[in-house]
């Protein structure tokens, strides 16, 4: 039985990530001819073509894409074994994503646990909307992310389930006889969907008064008393108040915030921090609680 060369597999995964031989060569500090020779050696070992011509470029073949998935697992296990045998403190770079509405609640708790258990880990925090963060996780731009999105393609844990409420400025005056003026996020948005579904089912009249691309715009519209919005209580601050049944607004379902880990674990630090957070916070893997 032939053995796969780990160095060749690292080059293959770099080509898959950066899409061209030249960019992979730059990232690996190799010449393009050296990368080409490595892939020829790997094709010889596999006995199958790993690339095919597409115009002037080479792209992964079906065999190449399949091998990339195996390569990522093999490299992750190799790197994890080396890290475990070093018996040193966790250190390295970790990219963590979080929605803005939990920047003052859930995110600080995670950061505190990471700082206490792995003080040498350097964190890069990215705040954005949940769907954008999930796309970034899928693309390998971040390593872990907090999100309201459930995606069974990822491994994750539920961090917290929070009530969803109708929020308005503290000095907002609500007219129960007029259509509800809504402040909404543009698509895709779980809170937009929850708000519209609840109003439609309760047959409450409404109109869109303001649409924002992010939470900063939504908070600005609320402060300007342009209307009400549906968000989790994680966003509730002293400058806001909760509206409800006496204002003629229907109840809203809860939302769950998850912590998701990227699928192609090249860096063993990501897995170690994820497992540490699970253990420290007493979190059950998705699917374990019901088992």
| Residue 236 domain-assigned (yes or no) | yes
Local structure of residue 256 (DSSP, 8 states): E
Q: 181 with 246, same domain?
A: yes
pLDDT, tens digit, 9 for 90 and up, residues 116-147: 888 888 999 999 999 999 999 988 899 999 99
Q: What is the extent of the structural domain holding 61?
A: 6-85
The tens digit of pLDDT for each residue in 216-258 reads 899 999 999 999 999 999 888 889 999 998 999 999 999 999 9
Supply the pTM of this predicted model.
0.66
Token representation of residue 189: 């948005």
**Residue 74, domain CATH:** 1.10.10.10
Residue 153: give its domain's CATH number.
3.40.190.10
Do both 129 and 266 map to the same domain? yes
Q: What is the dihedral of CA 23, 28, 33, 39, to 10 degrees?
A: -90
Domain boundary among 51, 85, 119: 85
| Same domain (yes/no): 124, 174 | no
pLDDT value at 291 more than 60 = no
**What is the H or E stretch that residue 36 is in?**
helix 32-46
287: left (phi over 0), alpha (psi -120 to 50) or beta: left
Q: What's the pLDDT at 287?
A: 43
Domain termination site, one of 85, 120, 150: 85
What does the alpha-carbon distance between residue 43 and residue 28 come to, in Å, rounded to a whole number? 20
* In the chain, % of residues over pLDDT 90: 49
In the chain the first and final C-alpha atoms are separated, in Å, by 39
Domain identity same for 41 and 13: yes
Task: Yes or no: say if 187 and 259 are a contact pair by the CB < 8 Å rule.
Answer: no
Within-domain flag for 287:
no
Please tell me whether residues 207 and 231 are part of one structural domain. Answer: yes
Tell me the two tokens of residue 237: 């601050």
Task: Give a yes or no: residue 93 inside a domain.
Answer: yes
Q: Count CB-CB contacts under 10 A for residue 172.
A: 18
- The pLDDT of residue 91 is above 80: no
Tell me the per-residue pLDDT of 26-58, one tens digit each, with 9 for 90 and over: 877 888 888 899 999 999 998 989 998 888 788
In a domain, 10, yes or no: yes
Q: Are residues 49 and 66 in the same domain?
A: yes
Backbone angles phi, psi at 144, to 5 degrees: -135, 150
Check if the beta carbon of residue 240 is closer than 8 Å to that of residue 141. no
**Length reported for the chain:** 291
Q: Do 180 and 207 contact (CB within 8 A), yes or no?
A: yes
Given its phi and psi angles, is residue 100 left (phi above 0), alpha (psi -120 to 50 degrees) or beta? Answer: alpha
In a domain, 291, yes or no: no
- Indicate the pLDDT class of residue 284, thresholds 50, 70 and 90: low
- CA 208/CA 256 separation, integer angstroms: 26
How many distinct structural domains can be found in the chain?
Answer: 3
Backbone CA torsion sign across 230, 235, 238, 244:
positive
Using CA atoms, how far apart are residues 207 and 246, in angstroms rounded to an integer? 19
């Amino acid at each position: 039985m032939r053995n796969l060369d780990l160095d060749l597999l690292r080059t293959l995964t770099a080509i898959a990530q950066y899409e061209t031989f030249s960019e992979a060569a730059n990232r690996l500090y190799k010449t393009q001819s050296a990368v080409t020779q490595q892939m020829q050696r790997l094709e010889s070992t596999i006995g199958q073509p790993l690339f095919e011509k597409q115009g002037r470029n080479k792209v992964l073949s079906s065999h190449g894409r399949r091998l990339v998935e195996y390569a990522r697992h093999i490299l992750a296990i190799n790197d994890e074994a080396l890290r475990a045998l070093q018996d040193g403190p966790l250190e390295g770079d970790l990219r963590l994503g979080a929605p803005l509405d939990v920047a003052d609640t859930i995110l600080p708790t995670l950061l505190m646990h990471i700082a206490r258990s792995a003080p040498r880990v350097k964190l890069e925090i990215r705040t954005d909307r949940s769907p954008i963060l999930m796309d970034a996780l899928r693309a390998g731009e971040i390593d872990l992310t907090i999100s309201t999105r459930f995606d069974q393609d990822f491994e994750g844990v539920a961090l917290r389930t929070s009530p969803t409420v109708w929020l308005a400025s503290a000095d907002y005056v609500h007219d129960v006889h007029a259509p509800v003026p809504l402040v909404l996020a543009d698509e895709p948005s779980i809170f937009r969907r929850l708000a519209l579904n609840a109003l439609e089912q309760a047959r409450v009249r409404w109109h869109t008064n303001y649409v924002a691309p992010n939470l900063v715009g939504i908070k600005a519209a609320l402060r300007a008393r342009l209307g009400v919005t549906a968000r989790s209580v994680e966003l509730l601050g002293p400058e806001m108040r909760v509206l409800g049944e006496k204002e003629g607004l229907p109840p809203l379902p809860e939302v769950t915030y998850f912590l998701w880990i990227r699928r192609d674990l090249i860096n063993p630090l990501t897995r170690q921090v994820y497992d540490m957070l699970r253990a420290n916070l007493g979190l059950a893997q998705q699917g374990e609680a019901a088992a």
